[in-house]
Structure 1
Amino acid sequence: MKQIYINAFKFVLIVLPFALVAGISLANYEIGTGVITQEILSQVSKTTIISSITIQTVLYAAICGFIGYLLADKIGLLRSFAWSGSYFKKALAGGAICGILFFVLDYLIFAKLLVPVAEYYETYTFSIYYLLAKVLYGGMVEELLMRWFLMSLLIMILWKIFDRKADKESIPAWIMVVSNIVIAVLFALGHLPATIVMFGHLSFLIVTRCILLNGSFGLVFGRLYRKYGIQYAMVAHAVTHIVCDVLFFLFCRL
């Protein structure tokens, strides 16, 4: 077996425990907050629901982790997994700035314009399950899916279509930038179903909120992946959620 496949498998083994905790946390949060209704719970046991969501999460992490590893190697974005202090600080700073901006935009602006947003924060309660889900599912599983797998795949497709003669170290910067933008937009659009559930309908302002809050910060995570490595995109994504939750808690409950 080629060494690259062995390394990809080892990578998957490292991320799976985190994916397991992410899946369990996400399932418990959705049950506890009523996202999974009592009607569903009356038909399907809590254990079955938790198991299903956890298995799905683990499969996402395993498949995207393995294939993403191979793709990142193919396009020259497989960076060293040794932690760099300077890169780590940049990821922390990027995540903190994104978290603050998210808070300012949503709590201080959109909550004034959209009643359901204001109502959400009026009833906001801290949940360890939700925080773990956002940090581990958002910070790790979503990054494996969106940046490690999908962004890498799009980069490779565009590279093969527009500049196949270039080697992987010379892939044009515009391909990296376009791929980052497209994946960030797709990530934002993927939140539209949850947005519809929250608001009951879509409007220009609601869609703008969805794309701005979920897509713009993805550009930061994509750049960190491209420049420094997927682990720094994960750190920034996780820190964004942590900073957001801390600010929400301070302003909503203290």
Structure 2
Amino acid sequence: MKQICKNAFKFVLIVLPFALVAGISIANYEIGTGGITEEILSQVSKTMVIASVTFQTVLYAAICGFIGYLLADKIGLLRSFAWSGSYLKKALAGGAICGVLFFLLDYLIFAKLLVPVAEYYETYTFSISYLLAKVLYGGMVEELMMRWFLMSLLILILWKIFARKTDKESIPVWIMMVSNIVIAVLFALGHLPATLVMFGYLNVLIVIRCILLNGSFALVFGRLYRKYGIQYAMVAHAVTHIICDVLFFLFWRL
């Protein structure tokens, strides 16, 4: 147990610099786009806002990274961190497909059905800062929270309830699949507050958009984590954001 805790601590030390950059990038983007209002900035300095957001991001990464490492080991999902070329290709391909599908569904379908989505693309501005935030926060911090920590925790709970007589190498596949689906739905629902801010209201179509665009692709990330390791889920998640933004940028310029 002592050695696994040491390894978990080393893992956290590796991911924290990325979480630091993610926090700073998100804070700067929110300030630049008005996500953090002038009213807030009149009461709290820009430096304090950036420090607060960054601290929160780093804290999430540290806690979920450490506990997630222990949980992944407990349930047999602590894979080798040595990169495999074949696994990496699958992660890159999965992320690219998710990115293209996200763009096609949102830009070519939901933008025709929902006026606020169309307005968003009409006023779209490509931002390197925001892309960096999405790649690092979405690709790493969210994966640490949702797959590494929460999905692992749910697998552990279901295993102990329904299959406690089996060892960690023999946890039933259905437990892995159910956990992936539940966490994907939770991940999607977690985007509802931001969706509400974007639209100003919620209806059935808006909720469907939120769950479809976020939950369905989260299933891909969860499967990559379960089959190959958390690093491949991170890569796919990051690539999804990159492909989306590249396509948005290209169509915005046309």
Partner of 2:223: 223
Q: Quote the Cα distance in structure 1 between the aligned partners of 2:125 and 2:192.
A: 23
In the alignment, what sits opposite 2:41? 41
Rounded Cα–Cα distance in structure 2 between residues aligned with 1:118 and 1:133: 23
- Provide the TM-score with structure 2 as the length reference: 0.99
Tell me what 2:133 maps to. 133
* Deviation at residue 43 of structure 1 after TM alignment: 1.1
Q: Which residue of the partner structure matches residue 63 of structure 1?
A: 63
Structure 2: which amino acid aligns with 1:24? I
Match of 1:89 in 2: 89
Where does residue 14 of structure 1 map in the other structure? 14
Displacement of 1:183 in angstroms is: 0.1
Give the AA of the match of 1:229: G
How far 1:135 moved relative to its partner? 0.2
| Identical residues among aligned pairs (%) | 89
- 1:55-85 Cα deviation digits (max 9, x unpaired): 0000000000000000000000000000000
Q: Which whole-Å CA distance do the structure 2 matches of 1:191 and 1:123 have between them? A: 21
Q: Which runs of no fewer than 5 residues in structure 1 stay unpaired? A: none
Q: What value does the CA root-mean-square deviation take over the aligned residues?
A: 0.6
Partner of 1:168: 168
1:128, CA displacement in angstroms? 1.2
Question: Number of matched residues?
Answer: 254
Alignment-derived partner of residue 183 in structure 1: 183
Long gaps (5+) in structure 2: none
Structure 2 counterpart of 1:81, one-letter code? F
Q: What SS is found at the alignment partner of 2:248?
A: helix
Structure 1 CA distance, aligned partners of 2:48 and 2:148? Answer: 30
The 5 Å alignment of 1:77-156 reads: 77-156=77-156
1:160 counterpart letter in structure 2 = K
Q: TM-score when scaled to structure 1?
A: 0.99
* Equivalent residue letter for 2:129: Y
Runs of 4+ that moved beyond 3 A: none
Q: Distance in 1 between matches of 2:116 and 2:253?
A: 18
SS of residue matched to 1:5: helix
Shift of residue 253, structure 1, vs aligned partner: 1.9
CA distance in 1, matches of 2:63, 2:213: 27
